[in-house]
Chains A and B, each alone.
Chain A
Amino acid sequence: MSTARTWAVALSGLDGALVEVEADLSNQRPEFRIIGLPDKALAEAVQRVHNASANCGLVLPRRRLTVNLSPASLPKHGSAFDVAIAIAALATEGAMDSDSIAQTVHIGELGLDGRLRPVPGVLPAVMAAAREGIGRVVVPHANTAEASLVEGIEVVGAVSLADVARWHGAEVEDRHLDPVPAPVSADDASRAPELAEVIGQRDAVDALITAAAGGHHMMMSGPPGAGKTMLATRLPGILPPLDDAAALEVAAIRSLAGDSVSALSRRPPLEAPHHSASIAALVGGGSRVVRPGAIARATHGVLFLDEVGEFAPSVLDALRQPLESGAITIHRAGVAASFPASFQLILATNPCPCGNYGVRGASCACPPIAIRRYLGRLSGPLLDRVDIELGLARVSVAQTAAFAADAVTTDAAAARVAEARGRASHRLRDTPWQLNARVSGPWLRDGPLALAPVVRRPLDAALHRGSLTLRGYDRVLRVAWTLGDLAGRASPTVHDIGRALFMKKGITT
């Protein structure tokens, strides 16, 4: 037999496409070429396949081998095609079960010694293979746990190329090789930080729980040391655990970013990029291989922008489109990659460059123009999407003593959030939305559950006075609904409206 075929997966963002790897042996001088838009790393597969085969005791045919990656017009990157290329090439002459090879997806990079090295993006690749109805996938031993997270596909973890060939029926001697270990990644299995560690700041904790319950974007403003970062890092702990689909998506993005994934984490991710981040770092980018940025890694979780006033305005404005659509599409020459980006945005800022503006007992040294310029950077469209604005003060000595006893624990807060979310999704069951923060304004104002004029009165007054825009009006309504859900009421009261109004106008500039 002089041709053989097998499968591999080409990734573009989180989308995987099956690639048919076809090898043809023609009776010509020995030569080995790969066609079908390979990049540099992929074209170098020739050398890796040569040496890996030789060191595994497998004999590559000594004739002209042409390996075609089809569809030939789809650009292919990286070293994850090595195993598929090697197996197709060896199968042109060697005794392997061609049916078994033609029904298997092979993913993995080859070392010169013939061992299979782990590659990034195994999880989305295996997901794509399962979706296309492929029954079996061969992955590097170090990626076995990750690939096994996908249901409905048989996963074979292989240590070396000889293992793969033997598995397809070739007769190769078994030399014991140690598997290449998975890269060590930061372990996030530790418990989430405890909410009860936040001393005082009762209003802030309540606001955080409200934000978690309704999925509201939040902005915190306060002097250094008030606990903004502490609060933000406790948000993932009180959000409901991720469901299967969301956890798989989060894991797929982590895999694509090069982290090793061995188990599904149910905890929503927290991404806190530094304020020097570029647009590409935040939304994702790269020249040929598009990598996920911070907002994609924060999907189904929290994006925390500390010192938001220090971010470049262009970077902040890049958030507007994903905030609206819940996804980001990145275009580069020849590729467009899509990533999910439905995150909860938490912004934190000082009230002014020196941080002391409006703080009792401290004096602000900033000229008024500097204060205006500082917060002016995040005016407009971005702030329009923030539902809760929270002013934080430093904790006084009296508060530390008084409130330490009845601090809200993470577990208690998570229970309240889960209950409120259950109430909201039950109420919104006939609508396309699940969270209060996503509900459309017209539905809130004039839908079947529109509030009675008596309840709405403080809000209407604020609108007439001109201190609230119509968009702001909708935002206050959403937060009021969440407050009602948290309190276990069927619909918000005047009291809830008042509190929501306070939360929207919480920061005085």
Chain B
Amino acid sequence: MAAKDVLGRAGEDRAARYLEERGYVVLDRNWRIREGELDLVVARPGELVVVEVKTRRGDGFGHPFEAIDDRKQRRLWRLAVAWIAAHPDQAQGRRLRLDAVAIIGPDPAIAVVEHIEDLR
């Protein structure tokens, strides 16, 4: 596994822990189809949240959230809808939302976590 993928993996672990501490249940991780991949799918009562996780060692290349552009956001929505189609029973009765989590720091396990709810 390349270094950037190790970092990404560690960042996703950290994001999952962060969300679990806030009462979310992780339903799925790294769900992959031909169109792309969802990092995290989590849920709370009434809420179904697709989370994009961005991990950076520092902000020398811009803030992680700046890497999520309109195209990426549209693709996430398409994937989210595809995930619901594949898991109708888990999605039942929950409202879909798109979140972004940024992990900034050299060691993802203790780095700063930023969370944007409901990307628009």
Chain A interface (Cβ < 8 Å from any Cβ of B):
27-30, 62-63
Asked if B24 is at the interface of the complex by the 8 Å CB criterion, the answer is no
Chain B interface (Cβ < 8 Å from any Cβ of A):
63, 65-66, 68, 100, 116-117, 119-120
> Residue on B with the closest CB to A27?
B116
> Residue on A with the closest CB to B65?
A29
Measured between C-beta atoms, what is the minimum distance from B2 to chain A in Å? 26
Per CB-CB distance, the 5 closest pairs between chain A and chain B, nearest first, are A62-B63, A29-B65, A30-B66, A30-B65, A29-B68
Measured between C-beta atoms, what is the minimum distance from B8 to chain A in Å? 19
- Asked if B119 and A30 make an inter-chain contact with CB atoms under 8 angstroms apart, the answer reads no
- Asked if A28 and B120 make an inter-chain contact with CB atoms under 8 angstroms apart, the answer reads yes
Q: Is the interface of A mostly helix, strand, loop or mixed?
A: loop
Contacts of B63 in A (CB 8 A): 30, 62
- Between-chain CB contacts (< 8 Å), 19 pairs: A27-B116, A27-B117, A28-B116, A28-B119, A28-B120, A29-B65, A29-B66, A29-B68, A29-B100, A29-B116, A29-B119, A30-B63, A30-B65, A30-B66, A62-B63, A62-B65, A62-B66, A63-B65, A63-B116
Contacts of B68 in A (CB 8 A): 29
Given A62-B63, A62-B65, A63-B65, 16 new contacts (CB under 8 A): A27-B116, A27-B117, A28-B116, A28-B119, A28-B120, A29-B65, A29-B66, A29-B68, A29-B100, A29-B116, A29-B119, A30-B63, A30-B65, A30-B66, A62-B66, A63-B116
Give CA–CA (A63, B116) in the complex, Å: 9
Measured between C-beta atoms, what is the minimum distance from A82 to chain B in Å? 22
Give CA–CA (A30, B63) in the complex, Å: 8
Give CA–CA (A227, B65) in the complex, Å: 73
> Residue on B with the closest CB to A64?
B120
Give CA–CA (A91, B68) in the complex, Å: 25
Contacts of A28 in B (CB 8 A): 116, 119-120
Contacts of A30 in B (CB 8 A): 63, 65-66
Contacts of B117 in A (CB 8 A): 27
Measured between C-beta atoms, what is the minimum distance from A53 to chain B in Å? 14
Give CA–CA (A62, B68) in the complex, Å: 13
Contacts of A63 in B (CB 8 A): 65, 116
Give CA–CA (A28, B119) in the complex, Å: 6
Give CA–CA (A18, B117) in the complex, Å: 36
Give CA–CA (A373, B120) in the complex, Å: 72
Measured between C-beta atoms, what is the minimum distance from A202 to chain B in Å? 79
Measured between C-beta atoms, what is the minimum distance from A266 to chain B in Å? 56
Measured between C-beta atoms, what is the minimum distance from A65 to chain B in Å? 13
> Residue on A with the closest CB to B104?
A62
Measured between C-beta atoms, what is the minimum distance from A107 to chain B in Å? 31
Contacts of B120 in A (CB 8 A): 28
Contacts of B116 in A (CB 8 A): 27-29, 63
